[in-house]
Amino acid sequence: DLQMTQSPSSLSASVGDRVTITCRASQGTGIYLAWFQQKPGRPPKLLIYAASKLHSGVPSRFSGSGSGTDFTLTISSLQSEDVATYYCQRYETAPFTFGPGTKVDLK
Amino acid sequence: QVHLVQSGTEVKKPGASVKVSCQASGYSFTGYFMYWVRQAPGHGLEWMGRINPNNGGKNFAQAFQGRVTLTMDRSNSTAYMELSGLRSDDTAIYYCARGITVLDYWGPGTLVIVSS
């Protein structure tokens, strides 16, 4: 199966900081890349699909970019409610592999 | 409004099988795949497979081939995931999620505990 990696595995940042998370696919996946946010005890929530399209209701401080094998999720100004684990997922062809996750907390 | 309601917590012994249900409402059941994803305690998300409620077509992750059965009942908009040959490392929360390709709505998850 295709592999997904994410970096960093965790990070600490202050409210208002710009946060960037990277996702890399072992093979090109076009723009078929989604980002999810998961808070403890809750199911994941879709943030971004097609690498850069914001899902309905997601705050505009979240943005995505990239294509092929390298993708980025950016939070332009971190808020306390953004403390969560973030996962990327490729969905060009099955299996739709997830990245290992990046845990974001407050400094 | 899209809702996915999953069955409750299950406790099973090693070697047994478990069947988890996911009842959908608020959208056309046959218009979207139903996906299954699991999450072991303290671990990340693991894609298991999907079923097309329109034609019954299925895809599975290699790790689950032969051990997972995906079925559906269109009459009550319910999808089922059955996992056989349970082992302790199958202890996890099992989520259903709908999507055409992108998983845009998720169920609350079903905790499956495998313990002797």
Closest Cα to residue B28, out of B105, B95, B114?
B105
Q: Is A64 on the interface with B (CB under 8 A)?
A: no
Q: Is A41 on the interface with B (CB under 8 A)?
A: no
User: Is pLDDT of A17 > 70?
Assistant: yes
| Distance set, CA B16 to CA B7, B40, B41 (Å) | 18, 18, 20
**Mean pLDDT of the A33-43 span:** 97
Cβ proximity of B111 and B93 under 8 Å: yes
Closest Cα to residue A76, out of A14, A20, A23?
A20
Euclidean distance between CA atoms A41 and A32, whole angstroms: 27
Cβ <8 Å between B47 and A36: no
Considering CB atoms only, which of A44, A94, A101 is closest to B50? A94
Helix (H) / strand (E) element for A38: namely strand A33-38
What is the structure's pLDDT at A1? 64
**DSSP bridge pairs for B37:** B47, B95
Segment B101-115, tens digit of pLDDT: 999 999 999 999 999
The alpha carbon of residue A62 is apart from the nearest alpha carbon of chain B, in Å, by 16
DSSP letter string, A52-105: TEEPTT--TTEEEEEETTEEEEEESS--GGG-EEEEEEE-SSSS-PBP--EEEE
Segment B26-38, tens digit of pLDDT: 999 999 999 999 9
**Mean pLDDT of the A68-73 span:** 98
User: Is pLDDT of B54 > 90?
Assistant: no
Cβ proximity of B102 and A34 under 8 Å: yes
User: Is pLDDT of A2 > 90?
Assistant: no
| pLDDT top residue among B16 and A2 | B16
Cβ proximity of A54 and A60 under 8 Å: yes
Cβ <8 Å between B45 and A36: yes
Euclidean distance between CA atoms A101 and A81, whole angstroms: 17
